[in-house]
Amino acid sequence: MGLLGKKQQCVVCGKELGIIKFRLAKDTYLCADCNLKVGNNVKYIDINTVDIDDLKEKVKQYDDKEKENMNKLSDFNVTKKVERFISIDENKKQWYTSSGATNINQIKIYNFSDVQNFELLEDGETVSKGGLGRAVAGGVLFGGVGAVVGGVTGAKKTNSICSKLQIKITVKDINNPIVYINLINSPTRKDSIIYKTVYNNAQEIMSILQLMTDENKDIQQEKVSTGSTADELKKYKDLLDSGAITEDEYNKVKSKLLGI
């Protein structure tokens, strides 16, 4: 005990508290790290509502998720990257963006097949769209920069300043169906090198996303085609087994269906 009395400690991790601390109740505090992990930015709570065991469990869950995400990211082999906006593992057919993330737990790895639709937004207006069911435009997969896919759907902007440029991606995740890649977040002149460079990045990302969805569509069509062929073969095999057709007739149909 010093002249100023006993040092205050975090009720979860026991760390000695400094200037930055979050009071939950009388003599009950969280350090900044634990406050972030429990997602609780309320400084004052009725003493009767503070469940320390629950807080400790939330911190544990956060730490477990952080370890899991670190392991996933360490296994992620970046074969293609567009600046800081998007990272891609072509071999695993996965991608992620760290745009807007303040910690590793906010980074999520997605499969190519998770991408459904996407659009480029400039100051809230749609500039271009792409996704499943749309035609691909420009470039070989992960090759040179292609043209922005889709047609211009929003009105042409005459403003010489862009305050926000982002790509909105719809993914197969019912809890978090929208992913944003933030490209510009502050007023930027459209005749500047920064704007032109970032807009080129946007074009490349849009083309990559389109190629992801086209690849997914091809895989789905192949599965449907393979399933249809198998169903047809089974139907004719049943006819052969029942004596409705001869083995020669069955073999002819089989060769035609399999393309041999």
DSSP assignment of 196-248: HHHHHHHHHHHHHHHHHHHHHHHHHHHHHHHHHHHHHHHHHHHHHHHTSS-HH
pLDDT of residue 132: 64
For the chain, how big is the Rg over CA atoms in Å?
28
pLDDT of residue 88: 95
Contact 163, 187 (CB under 8 A): yes
pLDDT of residue 218: 53
> pLDDT by residue for the chain (260 residues), tens digit each?
344 556 788 989 999 988 888 887 777 888 888 888 887 555 555 555 667 888 889 899 999 999 999 999 999 999 999 998 999 999 999 999 998 888 888 899 999 999 999 999 999 998 888 876 554 343 333 333 333 444 444 444 467 899 999 999 999 988 889 999 999 999 999 999 999 999 999 999 999 999 888 886 554 555 444 557 677 777 877 877 887 778 887 787 777 767 66
What distance in Å separates the CA atoms of residue 232 and residue 230, rounded to the nearest whole number? 5
Q: Sign of torsion, CA 88 93 98 103? A: negative
CA nearest neighbour of 154 among 205, 179, 120, 115: 120
Type of residue at 189 = R
